[in-house]
Structure 1
Amino acid sequence: MRGLLPFYRGLYTLSNRQASRKAGIVGSRCGLCGTQSNSKPQPRFGLLFDIDGVLVRGRMPIPAATKAFEKLVDSQGQFVVPVVFVTNAGNCLRQTKADQLSHILGVPSNPVVSLPKIEAVVLFGEPIRWETNLQLIVDVLLTNGNLGSSHQTQNTPQLHLLACNMDLMWMAEAHSPRFGHGTFLVCLENIYKKITGKDLKYEALMGKPSELTYHFAEYLIRSQAMQRQWELPVTSLYAIGDNLMTDIYGANLYNRYLEERVARKNPKAVAKMVSATGSTTAVPREEEIDSLWESELALPSATSCKSVLVCTGVYNPNAEVPSDANHCIKETVFHGHRDFIFDPGLVEPGHIVQDVAEAVDLIFEQEKFVPQ
């Protein structure tokens, strides 16, 4: 029964089209139009926005989001910097999410671009009836997709399995975080091991904090800059989120990758890393995904991805007892997925701000960017 729950994670990006264009959502390319006047400042950074807990709480917009986007859109309805929405939410169609964001933020978004169908068992979002779905997925896995047969728990190759959302919790209208798809995966993994005695294996883990998500987000940011004919390269990314275990972990993980990518292109930096570690294994091989996407864009790659944590979602600074916020973060219980290693440095944000409006102000100040 291949193709069970055939969904794919959404990477949402608002375009710079005129307000009269139909709202939509992008899943591959950005499709921006228009050129940039030489009289306007050209940004050298892009923004990656989480949605739930940063821009909205359930169906309710966070007031700071409107304030923030007033600074990001000019009088012609165009974004003054490249913007991409990176979300693990899978509770509605991309088109629906695009319409919601357009209405809430008061800016247009571009049409949906279909993504290739994935021929595998894909777990995308937490279901409503957990018991029923857990039973069905276990049936599919233990029969290799043949539901007409009985369970085979020994010496049976596992069907390919992909998981597209690892959030243990997420923030809606309720005062406390809600169970996310990561919690559903914890249940599935433990049930599978209890029955078979073996660990559930994933063909791939996608979505935040997976590096693949940030690879694609960077590609979309660079696409926007190219299609706007901005001459200055986008060298910095800023990831704004409310969840330490996905938004901040993922951004810092990708920043670590970017630093290593820069080092690979600098023989002196490579030699220094080898000297410090005594091995070349500290320098990873060039990713195939890099060569694929970079070959399509004749633009320099980003060199950093900086994390910015907001306090309007999952992260609640008032719930921590010690006064040192960084200490609290390092001592926190790891809510990340089983297959990700807990590294305190990866859940420490580059900046902590109250809301997304403060985040945009901070980034503009850091970049010395004054929109016109």
Structure 2
Amino acid sequence: MSPMRYRTAIRSKIRLPFPFRSHLYSSESRIECRSEPRSSFGIAFDIDGVILGGRAPIGGSPQALKKLYGDSGNLKVPFVFLTNGGGIPESRRAAELSEVLGVNILPSQVRFSTFSCSGTKVSNLWLCCLEFMGLRLADGNFGIALFRMQVVQGHTPFRTLLRRYENELIVAVGKGEPALVMSEYGFKKVLSLDEYASYFKDIDPVAQYKMWRTKEALYCSSHLEESVPRYDVYSDRVSAAFVVSDPVDWGRDIQVLCDILRSGGIPGWKNGNQPPLYFAADDLEYQAAFPSQRLGMGAFRIALESIFNRIHHSTLEYVSFGKPNPFVFKNSEALLAEFRPSQYDDHITNSGCSHSHGFRTLYMIGDNPLVDVKGAQQAGHPWFSILTRTGVFKGKDNHKEFPADMVVDTVEEAVDFILKREGTF
């Protein structure tokens, strides 16, 4: 896999101090902390090639995860699943994992907190961020909605773009239900690429030969004559395109994306400014049920970029999320900290809004050196990388370019090593 490349169409001038945050809050949604002792370490698990091989558990993953719960069933070691996969809402993915692995994986939940910055040492930048995010309440205090989840997918950071595109027309690309994913994040004008393309006659010149097309695409095609677009796609420009999960029909998707991106947002129009393009991940390959690796979203991105740059006068601009982006690891620290009682209040009151979450060690257990290990290394302290041999990596020795801190055969062996190292085995 080639090194991660970032071509950023939008550059933020303000680094937001907390992750995955919406400006919509509900005081009804409160998460009570357990009375478990605060753990000094946490774990992030990759899924494909570590926890699951296709849809089946591998490497003793059910047994490994059960060791992270107490006798009463409460979580005693904070952990999250950190995957570049996706295509379905995090809550549904959590339910699927719970059923397959036999442990209770929390769906996405939100905790609402209010606080006052008076009498505390808070930087002007921090106050500007709070104002920018619309978090000042009527009484002059501030409100923060903190997401608490155990499943972080490649597209989870798309939540952070809600303020920009909430009421703008956007297109969601990929397998599963990409439009539903974006809708659940709060985006109000979302169309899947399947539906969007169905409103433009002959946009895919070989569509008639694709007998394997998805049910959604077939439904959209069969109802084209009688259907009316939910939005005015013929005059309303696409404000941004989001590749949420691995695309299914590469040929059609590349064609339609090129039409959108080089026309300024309306296929068939003359050249215009390229709308922003976001990728949930940039994996060249990943481990699925087939013995050898499968091409991932990074491969699709390379194909799209190569073609776009040949047919357009400007090079493709895009933003890639997902591992190994250090942003993902830093945000995972905050999510893991949400499982530590009173962490948030300590963070605001005692640390003056520091970025430290008090973990001595955070373990990344993955199967891909160029994604999992590289990401942990780039994130730096307190990340410790563990490489398994059940997925992409199958070498006898450590990886040469991105050597992990520890190499094991299975995820169960990795968890046993962690618990023994932390003195809790």
| Corresponding position of 1:190 | 306
Moved over 6 A (4+): 27-31, 228-232
Match runs of 1:66-85 below 5 Å:
66-85=62-81
Do residues 111 (structure 1) and 227 (structure 2) align?
A: no
Whether the 8 Å CA contact 2:324–2:371 is kept in 1: the answer is yes
| Corresponding position of 1:14 | none
Amino acid at match of 2:101: L
- The 1:36–1:113 alpha-carbon spacing in structure 2 relative to 1, beyond 3 Å, is closer
Partner SS for 2:48: coil
Amino acid at match of 1:102: S
**TM-score, scaled to structure 2:** 0.58
Report the CA distance between 1:138 and its aligned residue: 0.6
1:104-150 deviations in Å (ceiling 9; x for gaps)? 22122333359463632212222111100000111111001022414
Partner SS for 2:324: coil
| Corresponding position of 1:175 | 291
Partner SS for 1:317: coil
Match runs of 1:291-306 below 5 Å:
303-306=381-384
Whether the 8 Å CA contact 1:309–1:351 is kept in 2: the answer is yes
Q: What is the number of residues matched between the two proteins?
A: 267
Do residues 97 (structure 1) and 93 (structure 2) align?
A: yes
Amino acid at match of 2:332: A
Amino acid at match of 1:226: P
**TM-score, scaled to structure 1:** 0.66
| Corresponding position of 1:36 | 35
Report the CA distance between 1:363 and its aligned residue: 1.2
| Corresponding position of 1:357 | 412
For 2:308 and 2:275, how far apart are their aligned partners in 1?
13
- The 1:210–1:130 alpha-carbon spacing in structure 2 relative to 1, beyond 3 Å, is same
| Corresponding position of 1:211 | 326
| Corresponding position of 1:316 | 394
Amino acid at match of 2:44: L
Amino acid at match of 1:144: G
Larger Rg: 2
Match runs of 1:189-338 below 5 Å:
189-196=305-312, 198-202=314-318, 204-227=319-342, 233-255=358-380, 303-317=381-395, 325-326=397-398, 329-330=399-400
Amino acid at match of 2:80: V
Do residues 159 (structure 1) and 299 (structure 2) align?
A: no
- The 1:223–1:188 alpha-carbon spacing in structure 2 relative to 1, beyond 3 Å, is same
Partner SS for 2:339: helix
1:267-320 deviations in Å (ceiling 9; x for gaps)? xxxxxxxxxxxxxxxxxxxxxxxxxxxxxxxxxxxx4101110111111116xx
Partner SS for 1:226: coil
Match runs of 1:111-130 below 5 Å:
111-113=107-109, 115=159, 117=162, 119=165, 120-130=240-250
Whether the 8 Å CA contact 2:33–2:339 is kept in 1: the answer is no
For 2:262 and 2:404, how far apart are their aligned partners in 1?
41
For 2:47 and 2:252, how far apart are their aligned partners in 1?
29
Report the CA distance between 1:365 and its aligned residue: 2.1
Report the CA distance between 1:87 and its aligned residue: 0.8
Match runs of 1:337-356 below 5 Å:
344=401, 347-356=402-411
- The 1:125–1:111 alpha-carbon spacing in structure 2 relative to 1, beyond 3 Å, is closer
Partner SS for 1:97: helix
1:4-45 deviations in Å (ceiling 9; x for gaps)? xxxxxxxxxxxxxxxxxxxxxxx76997544335xxx64201
Which 5+ residue runs of structure 2 have no aligned equivalent? 1-19, 23-28, 111-158, 166-239, 347-356
| Corresponding position of 1:133 | 253
| Corresponding position of 1:142 | 262
Match runs of 1:360-371 below 5 Å:
360-370=415-425
Whether the 8 Å CA contact 1:33–1:228 is kept in 2: the answer is no
Amino acid at match of 2:54: G
- The 1:229–1:73 alpha-carbon spacing in structure 2 relative to 1, beyond 3 Å, is farther
More helix as a share of residues: 1
Report the CA distance between 1:170 and its aligned residue: 1.1
Whether the 8 Å CA contact 2:262–2:273 is kept in 1: the answer is no
For 1:227 and 1:309, how far apart are their aligned partners in 2?
32
Whether the 8 Å CA contact 1:238–1:305 is kept in 2: the answer is yes
For 1:72 and 1:364, how far apart are their aligned partners in 2?
9
For 1:28 and 1:87, how far apart are their aligned partners in 2?
19
| Corresponding position of 2:179 | none
- The 1:63–1:192 alpha-carbon spacing in structure 2 relative to 1, beyond 3 Å, is same
